[in-house]
Amino acid sequence: MKKIIAKKKILFIVLIASLITLPLLIVECGYRYGLHLFRELPSVQAYQPLPSIVTNGIWASFSEKAPPRVKPLMPWNILEDEVLGCDSPGAKITNYVSRRLLEIEGPSPRMLTWHLQEFSLTVWLSRNWPTERIIHEAGNQIVICREASSIDKLANKLFDKNSDALEAHEIALIMAAGKGGFVHAGESLQNQLLKRRNQILERMLKNGAISEGDYTTSRNQPITSLQQDLIECRN
Amino acid sequence: MRERKHDTLGTSEDELSQRRKSIAFLLLLHIRHCKKGPQIRTALIMEHSWETIEALGFAPIVLDEPYRIIVQNNPVNFIDPKGLATTIIITSDYGLGSHAAVRVDNSGDPILYDPGGSYMNGARGSGDFFTGNEASLGSYIKYQQGTGSDINIISFNTTPQQESAIATNIENATNPGDFGCAKGVSNVLNGVGPFKDLGIYNLPDSLSNALQKLQKALYK
């Protein structure tokens, strides 16, 4: 009788252990399969470090919390994020970079494969690329009017200066414009741009990247009509 | 050989004839849908010729479920004549829900939200949404079909105010992250008009099921 109870106990423990490990195993397999689909994984190429204010502006535009540091992800972090609603630091910006890199891979596969590859690359990048490189890459892929440009190029175009000299409201405007199209119903482009820019500034303030005084000054900076013209897409 | 006539815009007679047939098909569908209830005003133009559509006997349209249109063949345009609809697009691969997106007419200023998607690859903004001509539902469906996915379209009647609220939610949304498409879509819909009790879903299939239930409850 005791032997039967002991056997049942062992079976119960095995069952519980399987229930816990099976989802983790599936996620791990999915991650490995997703990586296997890449011809070549992106290597860390040499890059020019960005100034602190630019780094913080890019980081804040993805609603990431301070400090700018990407947490190396494990495949099962996706379960945490999805099921428990946890926000792994840096997961959003890394996901954005992984999608931009995935585009270089060629024609898009089915959406299931696309999401799997996107997830695998996000995890891989968070573990293999330094935070600065991820932020740098996000700053190299700012899309305005369906054209991807770097921070340097946009700093020149919109403010006639180098990215090293950008101020908080300027980097915030660049990142705001890179969000995408504008929904004009009932609101001017200027108002929409200001709203987006000021949301990023607010996040920078929360992150401690700018002081209260800088925030107030930056918020009051106007957006010129020339800048609006350069940002507005006519499709 | 048959002589091809062109109008002042350079449209050939054959093309004009095709368009007239498409419009006739659209109207016919509209009438057939309206028999099921006054709320329905969705229609579908097929890429096939009129004869093919006749031969199909409207097979792609599930008339028992007038509010849900299953796109199995080659639709290139999904037209909402009154411009007052919120359309959710769910794709599936190998029988599994694989992606979710939403489009709102927004009083003629349409917005298409494709969180974590691959539409217009290479030139997507960080906001994952498209406006103006880029928010064309026809182009979006055609793109998704090109990847080999099956597509379900679920459409709801929404007022201009509700559509504007959804558009604002899309504008304020942040990147939902990996496998976050269904979460992103349900986030922007939840709490607005017919979606006031929708809730948040992590999987496209769960979102699709919830929306179909909602349709049945709303338009029974």
User: Does residue B6 form part of some domain?
Assistant: no
Q: Place B18 in a pLDDT band, splitting at 50, 70 and 90.
A: low
Select the residue of A115, A183, A199 nearest B131 (Cβ to Cβ): A183
Q: What is the CATH number of the domain that holds A181?
A: 1.10.3810.10
User: Is A96 found in the same domain as A5?
Assistant: yes
**Which residue has better confidence, B121 or B155?**
B155
User: Is A205 found in the same domain as A110?
Assistant: no
Average pLDDT value for chain B: 71
Structural domain including B94 reads: 13-219
User: Does residue A11 form part of some domain?
Assistant: yes
Question: In this structure, are residues A110 and B147 in contact, taking their beta carbons and an 8 Å threshold?
Answer: yes
User: Does residue A55 form part of some domain?
Assistant: no
User: Is A231 found in the same domain as A187?
Assistant: yes
User: Is A204 found in the same domain as A180?
Assistant: yes
Select the residue of B109, B122, B178 nearest A103 (Cβ to Cβ): B122
Question: In this structure, are residues B74 and B53 in contact, taking their beta carbons and an 8 Å threshold?
Answer: no
Query: Of A148, A155, A145, A154, nearest to A180 (Cα)?
Result: A145
Structural domain including A203 reads: 142-235
Contact pairs from chain A to chain B, CB under 8 Å: 132
Predicted TM-score (pTM) of the model is 0.79
User: Is A226 found in the same domain as A116?
Assistant: no
Please write the tens of the pLDDT for every residue from A32-41: 999 999 888 8
User: Does residue A118 form part of some domain?
Assistant: yes
Angle (CA) A195 A196 A197, round 5°: 95
Q: Cis peptide before B204, with omega less than 30 degrees from 0?
A: no
pLDDT of residue A81: 76
User: Does residue A158 form part of some domain?
Assistant: yes
Chain A CB contacts of B150 under 8 Å are none
Distance between CA atoms of residues A196 and B15, nearest Å:
44
Please write the tens of the pLDDT for every residue from A125-134: 999 999 999 9
User: Is A210 found in the same domain as A150?
Assistant: yes
Q: Which amino acid is at B47?
A: E
Say how many domains are in chain A.
Answer: 2
Rounded to a whole number of angstroms, the distance from the CA of A124 to the nearest CA of chain B is 13
User: Does residue B214 form part of some domain?
Assistant: yes
pLDDT of residue A185: 60
User: Is A9 found in the same domain as A93?
Assistant: yes
Question: In this structure, are residues B158 and B196 in contact, taking their beta carbons and an 8 Å threshold?
Answer: no
User: Is A148 found in the same domain as A121?
Assistant: no
User: Does residue A93 form part of some domain?
Assistant: yes
A129 at interface of B, judged by CB pairs closer than 8 A: no
Residue of chain A nearest B178, judged by CA positions? A119
* Percentage of chain B modeled with pLDDT above 90: 31
Chain B CB contacts of A233 under 8 Å are 132
- What is the strand order of the sheet B68-71 is part of? B68-71, B150-157, B85-93, B96-104, B111-113, B129-131
Average the pLDDT over B167-183 and give the result. Answer: 89
Distance between CA atoms of residues B85 and B159, nearest Å:
8
Q: Which amino acid is at A147?
A: E
State the DSSP code for B149.
-
Select the residue of B133, B164, B183 nearest A185 (Cβ to Cβ): B164
10-residue stretch averages of pLDDT, chain A, 235 residues long: 82 89 90 91 85 95 90 85 79 92 82 93 95 93 87 92 93 92 74 92 95 95 86 68
User: Is A218 found in the same domain as A172?
Assistant: yes
Say how many domains are in chain B.
Answer: 1
A84 at interface of B, judged by CB pairs closer than 8 A: no
User: Does residue A18 form part of some domain?
Assistant: yes
Please write the tens of the pLDDT for every residue from B120-131: 877 788 899 998
Alpha helices of chain B — where are they, by DSSP H?
A: 13-34, 50-56, 137-146, 160-172, 181-189, 204-219
Whether the pLDDT of residue B22 is over 70: the answer is no
Question: In this structure, are residues B170 and B193 in contact, taking their beta carbons and an 8 Å threshold?
Answer: no
User: Is A229 found in the same domain as A188?
Assistant: yes
Tokens of A144: 């305005």
Whole-complex ipTM: 0.88
Rounded to a whole number of angstroms, the distance from the CA of A16 to the nearest CA of chain B is 25
User: Does residue A171 form part of some domain?
Assistant: yes
User: Does residue B3 form part of some domain?
Assistant: no
Whether the pLDDT of residue B29 is over 70: the answer is no
Secondary structure of residue A136 in the 3-state scheme: helix
pLDDT of residue B13: 58
Question: In this structure, are residues B75 and B152 in contact, taking their beta carbons and an 8 Å threshold?
Answer: no
